[in-house]
Structure 1
Amino acid sequence: MADDSIEIIRGGEELLDAPHALWLALRDHHHAIAPELGAVRSDEDAWTRRRAQYAAWLAEDNGAFLLVARRGEHVLAYAFIRPVERTSTTWATERRELDIETLSVSPEARGTGIGARMIALIREEVGRGGYGGLQVTAIAQNVDALRFYEREGFAPEFIHLRDTTRTP
């Protein structure tokens, strides 16, 4: 059952600072579940880089947007979505899709259905914008996220493997 006290707003640059704390929490979570990927950047460096990346994507394509879920002024979740061109030299598929670049739900909001509500809103945009599909990338060790996406109808498409026999 949806929590009516949670509102999800859509926007662009005016919302760029809203996900700051959730981005850092996601970075910490990723490091905790996959420490073998190396050290993480400092809070300031990580957020400065991510915010700049979001700003650049918003500036280069008016199809990019943010969803921010909040209760009052408290940000509970956010998603950054951007169009991507999908081409292949193997398959005869060339289409513009939406990519869920980031989806982060605060621990206190998990299990409330907020992630599923955000996916539903993004899917509405896929239809409204005439996009050819929707994709998301998750860290292989993030089993909770993988389970969530599979429940939402996503399935693995390609598997990215890293050579662990050498260290940089």
Structure 2
Amino acid sequence: MSDLTIRPATRDDIPAIVAMLADDPLGAQRESPDDLAPYAEAHRRMANDPNQHLMVAARDDRVVGTLQLTIVPGLSRRGATRSIIEGVRIHSDERGSGLGTRFIEWAVDESRRQGCQLVQLTSDTSRTDAHRFYERLGFTASHVGFKLSI
């Protein structure tokens, strides 16, 4: 993993990120790699928010992974700050290489550095392999999540 770089995503990384987001049955239904304009606007908003960290993992200048780390200050848990890990994707050529573990470890370490007391994430109920992966890294399935499309 010494040839791996974890860095903030740039606008130039958007095509590779969107391709990874679309490269599974769920993402294929909700992503639009042919129209990158909404992703560019989202990247602009995130880049201007100090609590949003859109990251990429790159090997030999090739984007091979992405995740979003959001820092959320709060009042619950005695005023605890938490982080939320979202949009974790590893390029299909890299799955099983240890990159996912390294990337999540980076996110947990960065959460500690940012003063977080809790790291949370959600994973679609159909992603059973991902659930095993997160449990292997120490995460517990502790809550039931709900969504409302608006």
Post-superposition shift, 1:28? 4.2
- When the two structures are superposed, what TM-score results if normalisation uses the length of structure 1? 0.72
Given the alignment of the two structures, is residue 145 of structure 1 paired with residue 142 of structure 2, yes or no?
A: no
Given the alignment of the two structures, is residue 127 of structure 1 paired with residue 112 of structure 2, yes or no?
A: yes
The within-5 A match list for 1:81-160 is 81-86=69-74, 92-160=77-145
Post-superposition shift, 1:118? 1.1
Q: Which runs of 5+ in 1 are unaligned?
A: 163-168
Match of 1:69 in 2: 57
Residue-by-residue CA offset, 1:84-127 (whole Å, 9 max, x unaligned): 24456xxx554221111221101110111111111111121122
- Decide which of 55, 58, 69 is 2:47's aligned counterpart: 58
Match of 1:166 in 2: none
Classify 1:20/1:97 alpha carbon distance in 2 versus 1 (closer, same or farther; 3 Å): farther
Q: Indicate the SS of the match to 1:79.
A: strand
State the structure with bigger RCO (CA 8 A, min sep 6), 1 or 2: 1
Percent of aligned pairs sharing the same letter? 25
Structure 1 ranges of 4+ moved more than 6 A: none
Post-superposition shift, 1:141? 0.2
Give me the CA root mean square deviation: 2.6
Classify 1:138/1:50 alpha carbon distance in 2 versus 1 (closer, same or farther; 3 Å): farther
Match of 1:165 in 2: none
Classify 1:63/1:31 alpha carbon distance in 2 versus 1 (closer, same or farther; 3 Å): closer
CA distance in 2, matches of 1:142, 1:28: 14
Amino acid of the residue matched to residue 151 of structure 1?
A: R
Amino acid of the residue matched to residue 8 of structure 2?
A: G
Q: Is the 8 A contact 2:22 2:32 kept in 1?
A: no
Classify 1:144/1:44 alpha carbon distance in 2 versus 1 (closer, same or farther; 3 Å): same
Classify 1:17/1:30 alpha carbon distance in 2 versus 1 (closer, same or farther; 3 Å): farther
CA distance in 1, matches of 2:113, 2:81: 13
Q: Is the 8 A contact 1:64 1:82 kept in 2?
A: yes
Q: Which of the pair has more CA radius of gyration?
A: 1
- When the two structures are superposed, what TM-score results if normalisation uses the length of structure 2? 0.79
Q: Which runs of 5+ in 2 are unaligned?
A: none
